[in-house]
Amino acid sequence: MDKFIIDGGERLYGKLQAQSAKNTVLPLLAASVLTDEQVKIRGVPTICDVENMLRILTEVGCRIKRQKDCTVIDSSGAVSHEIPPRLTKELRSSVFMLGSVLTRFRRAKISYPGGCDIGLRPIDLHLSGLKRLGVEICEEGGYIECKADKLVGAEILLDFPSVGATENIILAAVKAEGITVVRNAAKEPEIVDLQNFLNAMGARVRGAGGGTVVIEGVKRLHGVDYTPIGDRIEAGTYLIAAASCGGEIEISGVPPENIAALLHKLRENGCKIHTKNDKIILRSDGKLKSVDLVETMPFPGFPTDLQAQYSALCCTCTGTTLVVENLFETRYKYAAELKRMGADVTVRGRTAVIRGVEKLHGARVTASDLRGGAALVVAALKAEGQSDIVDLSHIDRGYADFEYKLKKLGAKIRRVRI
């Protein structure tokens, strides 16, 4: 097990390029089994979630080649419709394999997916959407078995704009007979990127980002060489850290509109933000004022994946912030750890009341999930004294070279084995 040792109180200065978006790369890797031809994905980040997805692809028969600037997937030898349970337990996004494996083999078997313990995150919407396409589903003994003699286009209305369900339905419908219309679809930028990736392979998908996605089934897809969008959550994490600590940083590779909700809040906090094309420049004196309310919402609202990090920033703002988590019911596990550092946080159900304190102090804390772990890093960078952040396995699921990038900005952080 590794831990971070952070000596807080340093301002952050410098420039960073955002990594390719974790939440895009994972469904793109799943989509690679839709063709027998080679798929090249540029800039795939070296994070644990990606490594687990690549292991899943290898287990079903794909050949993977990691090159300096791209990852090559050759699925011509894919033979298995079963997703290994030992890997699905580690990776929530393994569920994306359902739609693509069904399209490839007309059968799929998967155990219930794992990932961070931040709430129930049921996959009912995934399964009901697949049923509309003609899939027979049997749930038994912790496994989901799907089969379909043929996939047929359908009208699908999602009860909630789920990102995962939207992507899974697209992957299952892309070679189905006829036209599929998904209404109340998720609007996240990662959905648009999946559409662009599939269309570059010869698919006919339109409407992504607008709430209604139309998929016209095609007979075959071909190989592609593709560069995913930048990771708006990674970029947002560094912006929040710099806003909290003070300093000036420039993040490139993420269009400002992809994290507009965060930028709006940071401006309200007192940060100076300038944007141009895919560059975001933030200046902060580290003395921030609270905003009254932050509510997580589906895109374009405030992202749930930045709620924890932003809450860490709120801990040293002047005033009180009410944070409402509308998407995941147990996403406040990090709050108890922030209290160890002197934060004044009161959690009731899906709501947290954060009263700003003059300063945080270093402490030994434990990361219990990906974004909560990142929040503890943000808090430790601001705190006086030394902090130890234990169990980096969660953080490593989503941030490539986290400590090296923070060091580049001037943070005093190191990783040690314990």
Cβ neighbours, 10 Å, residue 398: 26
Can the peptide bond before residue 300 be classed as cis, meaning omega within 30 degrees of 0? yes
Kindly list the distances between the CA atom of residue 226 and the CA atoms of 199, 229, 348, 400, in Å, as whole numbers in the listed order: 11, 10, 44, 20
138 given a catalytic annotation: no
Residue 200, exposed/middle/buried by CB under 10 A (0-12, 13-18, 19+)?
middle
Instruction: Give the side-chain half-sphere CA count within 13 A for 363.
Output: 16
CA neighbor of 271 nearest in space, from 248, 299, 298, 305: 248
Kindly list the distances between the CA atom of residue 156 and the CA atoms of 61, 161, 170, 209, 215, in Å, as whole numbers in the listed order: 32, 12, 11, 16, 11
**Interior CA angle at 15 toward 12 and 17, to 5°?**
125
282/262 Cα distance (integer angstroms)? 12
98/133 Cα distance (integer angstroms)? 13
Distance of CA 291 to the CA centre of its chain: 25
Q: Which of 48, 62, 116, 315 is catalytic?
A: 116
CA neighbor of 95 nearest in space, from 33, 167, 152, 161: 167
Q: At what angle do helices 22-31 and 97-105 cross, to 10 degrees?
A: 10
Q: Please, which residues bridge with residue 280 across strands?
A: 251, 275
Mention every residue, 6+ apart, whose C-beta is less than 8 A from residue 102: 108, 130, 135, 146, 148, 151, 172
411 with 384: CB under 8 angstroms?
Answer: no
Q: Which residues are catalytic?
A: 116
